[in-house]
């Protein structure tokens, strides 16, 4: 089994291929974002990364963020969210908790105050159920800032929320009026 650094490198490559550039491994995702594992492994090998099925299973099982899903029959894999390629993950609208959180870098606050949270190149804005998770997300982008999302009011205003298999909340956008900073 690869060391932790190798696992992280391989996981980042999987994320890159399954969320943003399947063509980098000569792949095409189906409409729901799935690809056959055998084709993925062969495509990664031709790209210069020889990953075994056991190593792939280890990455999926130990990924702390639950980024990946393997089909019930064990033959296909997809990323759970965060795609910039066109896929329909099939998530149904869900009732969110009263508050959700968004982690970002402090430097983004002026733009967020002006326009709210926008999905930009992704399919959705990602929200967290806990302050700590949002803080961890924000720390990846610089000095972390956690914003509080009034999800109950958004839901009452008929804005649709979705929740992924790994507990990430998704929404098309969060207008600035639904955001605040924690005290």
Question: Do 116 and 73 fall into the same domain?
Answer: no
36 within a domain of the structure (yes/no): yes
CATH code of the domain in which 108 resides: 3.20.170.30
What stretches of 45-180 adopt beta strand conformation (E)?
68-70, 76-79, 99-105, 117-118, 125-127, 144-150, 161-163, 169-171, 173-174, 179-180
Q: Which of 48, 79, 110 is the last residue of a domain?
A: 79
Tally of domains in the chain: 2
Is 84 a domain residue? no
CATH number of the domain bearing residue 29: 1.10.10.970
Judge if 103 and 65 occupy the same domain.
Answer: no
**DSSP annotation of 17:** I
157 and 123 belong to one structural domain? yes
| Domain with 176 in it | 99-180
Q: What whole-number percentage of the chain has pLDDT above 90?
A: 68
pLDDT tens figures, 130-142: 999 999 989 988 9
Q: Are residues 71 and 108 in the same domain?
A: no
Could you tell me if residue 127 is inside a domain? Answer: yes
The long-range contacts involving 160-163, CB below 8 angstroms and separated by at least 24 positions, are: 160/93, 161/93, 161/94, 161/95, 161/96, 162/91, 162/92, 162/93, 162/94, 162/124, 163/91, 163/94, 163/96
pLDDT value for 67? 87
pLDDT, position 2: 42
Under the banding of pLDDT at 50, 70 and 90, the label for residue 157 is very high
Does the residue 61 lie in any domain?
yes
Average pLDDT of every residue of the chain: 90
Q: Does the residue 63 lie in any domain?
A: yes
Domain boundary (49, 79, 109) is at 79
Residue 90 lies in a domain: no
* 103 in the same domain as 156: yes
Assign 83 a pLDDT band (cuts: 50, 70, 90): confident
Statement to judge: residues 59 and 132 lie in one domain: no
Residue 17, domain member (yes or no):
yes
Residues 136, 65, single domain; the answer is no
pLDDT in tens, 1-52: 444 666 788 888 999 999 999 999 999 999 889 999 999 999 999 888 889 9
Domain annotation covers residue 93 = no
- 8 vs 173, residue with greater confidence: 173
Claim to verify: residue 51 and residue 117 sit in the same structural domain = no
Query: 101-135 pLDDT, tens per residue?
Result: 999 999 999 999 999 999 887 778 999 999 999 99
What's this model's pTM, rounded to 2 decimal places?
A: 0.69
Indicate if 137 and 71 belong to the same structural domain: no
């Amino acid at each position: 089994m690869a060391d932790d650094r190798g696992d992280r490198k391989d996981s980042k490559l999987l994320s890159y291929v399954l969320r943003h550039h399947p063509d980098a491994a000569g792949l095409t995702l189906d409409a729901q974002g799935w690809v056959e594992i055998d084709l993925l492994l062969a495509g990664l090998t031709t790209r210069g990364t020889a990953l075994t099925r056991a190593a792939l299973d280890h990455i999926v099982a130990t990924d702390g963020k639950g980024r990946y899903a393997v089909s019930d029959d064990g033959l296909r894999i997809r990323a759970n969210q965060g795609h910039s390629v066109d896929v329909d993950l099939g998530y149904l609208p869900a009732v969110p908790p009263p508050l959700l959180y968004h982690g970002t870098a402090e430097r983004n606050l002026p733009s967020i105050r002006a326009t709210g949270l926008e999905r930009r190149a992704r399919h959705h804005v990602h929200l967290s159920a806990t302050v700590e998770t949002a803080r961890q997300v924000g720390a990846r982008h610089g000095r972390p800032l956690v914003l509080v999302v009034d999800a109950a009011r958004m839901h009452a205003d008929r804005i649709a929320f979705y929740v992924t298999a790994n507990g990430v909340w998704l929404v098309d956008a969060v207008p600035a009026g639904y955001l605040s900073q924690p005290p």
